[in-house]
Amino acid sequence: MPTLGQLVARQAHRAPTRDALVYNGRRITWAALDSAVNRAAAVLHRRGMVKGERLAVMSTNSDNFVVVLYAAAKLGLLVVPVNPRMAAPEVTWLLDDSGATGFVFHPSLATVADTARAAASTPPRTHLALGPLPDCPDDLESLMADAADHEPSISLSESDDAEILYTSGTTGRPKGVLLDHHRVIWAGLNVSLTAGLADGERILQVAPLYHSAGLNLFLHGGTAVGATHVLLDTFDPAVVLELMESERITTFFGVPTMYRMLLDSPDFAGRDLSSWRIGLFGAAPMPPTTIEALRKAAPRVRLFNLCGPTEAGPGGVGLGPDHIAQRPGANGWAILNTEARVVDSEGRDVAAGSTGEVVLRGESVMKGYWNNPEATAQALREGWLHTGDVARIDNDGCITLVDRMKDMIITGGMNVYSVEVENALAAHPGVADCAVVGAPHPVYGESVVAVVTPREGFAITLEDVRAHVSTLIADYKAPHRLVLGEIPRNPSGKILKHVLRGRVRTDEGASS
């Protein structure tokens, strides 16, 4: 199997004049991209970076971001993607935990980058903006101008480490997921094969590339099939729809809220989206009502639900277009080259209809957590990755995630899975967004709290919500309290339940 850098070199040889990247009106062919990657590698090497060192990269989606990712891969560096929305102390923590000796960043993030580096225990010795900065000629793009574009003479194999991807930190400090070239490429290939990505695909990359799904599944997976990557640094429904039409986009991946916003856009019906054939979603559950609306509005699009943790590459289970309408709310079966089981606390398969923990095994599962042997031993047991996801398994092996193990609510001795309640809430015509968490209760142990963002023009009350969901789920699962407000999510679309739990425990304006 090739390494990540070899993927670029091979496409440069196979399809040199095909567009590799489209960003802000700039077009870069595969041949030009390979040359830029080699020149960026020469700059990093000249700055003293050598195989095995860690390079932190903090940027929104951009062509220079892609260039430096593949330059690091050709040098045998471990890329450490950094969420550009992090505050300086959070960035410092990642620099220290990863032991990064290099740090490159988008020019707009220079202040945060400088502050974070200065506070690091051992400040990265290589510190470069990706593009020009006022009164500072020392940036990667400028230094590349006179760098040689020769292929780096570094001995690499697929077993060499490639990435440390920090988990999204929805429950506390993130952990670094260690992946080598073999695991990263298999993560992309598994999804490409599952969804049917083909030679010459045109992928709109609006999901953040510093997140595992955007990076491994669709950047590296798309590169493996010679795709053209059309990059966007922010999600705007009108801009997305314009690009899908003008760039003849064939593949789009987004979180469910993105799809909902596209459907709600007044531009949706008027755009020529006839080239769009693959729509993938993940990172959070898609309400069945949104899936049905998508199927009606874009019937030619083959929809795929992907579900899997960063620790699996990401990878896990998926539901394709043949089942997505018939199994509303389900997550599906193991994707290609992956095994999935639902087990009890002793590691035994649960009976059909029962719930347990999802465990995964496959080529893309992590080596372990960076510098965290205790957490690694807890997650990787007897060859299986224990995900912490609670799921139900049907007679035919179809898996439906119902909650995180840490998020299950026990009220009056009854188990309530937040996803079931959230799906019921999402079907209410006045609910734009929602989440469900547990809060301490003196009698029942925990109460079910619904946090709802109403649609414009709707007045939502607790009585309305309870009456609606009680027609869809058991009455004991109906919310006991209602809090109105925005749902906090991380950049990958996951609900920050620990933030919500803190909010509802102190909220004075909640209904009860």
| pLDDT tens track for 30-58 | 999 999 999 999 999 999 999 999 999 99
Give pLDDT, residue 413.
Answer: 67
C-alpha span between 145 and 147 (Å, rounded):
6
C-alpha span between 287 and 292 (Å, rounded):
9
Q: Is the per-residue pLDDT at 168 higher than 80?
A: no
Evaluate whether residue 493 is within a structural domain: yes
* DSSP letter for each residue of 313-376: SS--EEE-TTTTTTSTT--BEEPTTEEEEEE-TTSPBPPTT-EEEEEEEETTS-SEETT-HHHH
Looking at residues 162-182, what average pLDDT do you find? 84
* 418: CATH: 3.30.300.30
Give pLDDT, residue 509.
Answer: 42
Give pLDDT, residue 100.
Answer: 98
Evaluate whether residue 179 is within a structural domain: no
Q: Give CA separation, 102 vs 9, 36, 88, 173, 472, in Å.
A: 24, 19, 16, 22, 53
Q: Which of 195-204, 252-261, 386-395, 438-447 has the lowest mean pLDDT?
A: 438-447
* Residues 398 and 452 both lie in one domain: no
* Residues 429 and 398 both lie in one domain: no
Write out the two tokens for 6: 């070899």
Q: Which of 6-20, 193-207, 494-508 has the lowest mean pLDDT?
A: 494-508
* Residues 11 and 94 both lie in one domain: yes
Q: Which of 61-65, 136-140, 226-230 has the lowest mean pLDDT?
A: 136-140
* Residues 316 and 450 both lie in one domain: no
Model confidence at 285, pLDDT cuts 50, 70, 90, reads low
Cβ neighbours of 67 (radius 10 Å) = 26
CA 386, 391, 397, 398 torsion-angle sign: negative
Helices 30-46 and 63-75: angle between axes, nearest 10 degrees = 60
**Structural domain of 98:** 4-17+27-156
Q: 384 vs 410, which has greater pLDDT?
A: 384
Model confidence at 504, pLDDT cuts 50, 70, 90, reads confident
Give pLDDT, residue 217.
Answer: 97
* Residues 348 and 233 both lie in one domain: yes
* 65: CATH: 3.40.50.980
Q: Which of 102-116, 310-324, 398-412 has the lowest mean pLDDT?
A: 398-412
* 258: CATH: 3.40.50.12780
Q: 144 vs 322, which has greater pLDDT?
A: 144
- For all residues of the chain together, what is the average pLDDT? 91
> At 32, is the secondary structure helix, strand, or coil?
helix
Model confidence at 508, pLDDT cuts 50, 70, 90, reads very low
C-alpha span between 176 and 149 (Å, rounded):
32
Peptide bond into 314 cis (omega under 30): yes
Evaluate whether residue 512 is within a structural domain: no
User: Could you give the angle at the alpha carbon of 115 between the alpha carbons of 109 and 120, nearest 5°?
Assistant: 120
Instruction: Single out the residue in 371, 404, 437 at which a domain terminates.
Output: 404
Burial class (CB in 10 A: 0-12, 13-18, 19+), 401: buried
Give pLDDT, residue 182.
Answer: 98
Q: Is the per-residue pLDDT at 510 higher than 60?
A: no
Partners of 380 in beta bridges:
385
Give pLDDT, residue 327.
Answer: 85
Looking at residues 338-356, what average pLDDT do you find? 94
Model confidence at 492, pLDDT cuts 50, 70, 90, reads low
Q: 172 vs 122, which has greater pLDDT?
A: 122
Instruction: Single out the residue in 364, 383, 404 at which a domain terminates.
Output: 404
* Residues 381 and 425 both lie in one domain: no
Written as one letter, the residue type at 101 is T
Q: Is the per-residue pLDDT at 386 higher than 50?
A: yes
Q: Which of 164-168, 238-242, 455-459, 495-499 has the lowest mean pLDDT?
A: 495-499
* Residues 311 and 399 both lie in one domain: yes
Evaluate whether residue 368 is within a structural domain: yes
**Looking up tokens 């299986």, which residue turns up?**
384
Looking at residues 132-151, what average pLDDT do you find? 90
* Residues 119 and 225 both lie in one domain: no
* Residues 50 and 91 both lie in one domain: yes
What is the pTM assigned to this prediction? 0.83
74-78, 151-155, 303-307, 320-324, range with greatest mean pLDDT: 74-78
Q: Is the per-residue pLDDT at 101 higher than 80?
A: yes
Model confidence at 170, pLDDT cuts 50, 70, 90, reads very low
Instruction: Single out the residue in 404, 422, 446 at which a domain terminates.
Output: 404
* Residues 373 and 478 both lie in one domain: no
Q: Which of 11-15, 235-239, 326-330, 384-388 has the lowest mean pLDDT?
A: 326-330
Evaluate whether residue 181 is within a structural domain: no
Evaluate whether residue 194 is within a structural domain: no
Evaluate whether residue 317 is within a structural domain: yes
Number of domains the chain contains: 3
Q: Is the per-residue pLDDT at 92 higher than 60?
A: yes
Write out the two tokens for 84: 């550009």
Looking at residues 352-375, what average pLDDT do you find? 96
Evaluate whether residue 286 is within a structural domain: yes
* Residues 364 and 429 both lie in one domain: no
Q: 287 vs 243, which has greater pLDDT?
A: 243
Cβ neighbours of 151 (radius 10 Å) = 14
Give pLDDT, residue 304.
Answer: 95
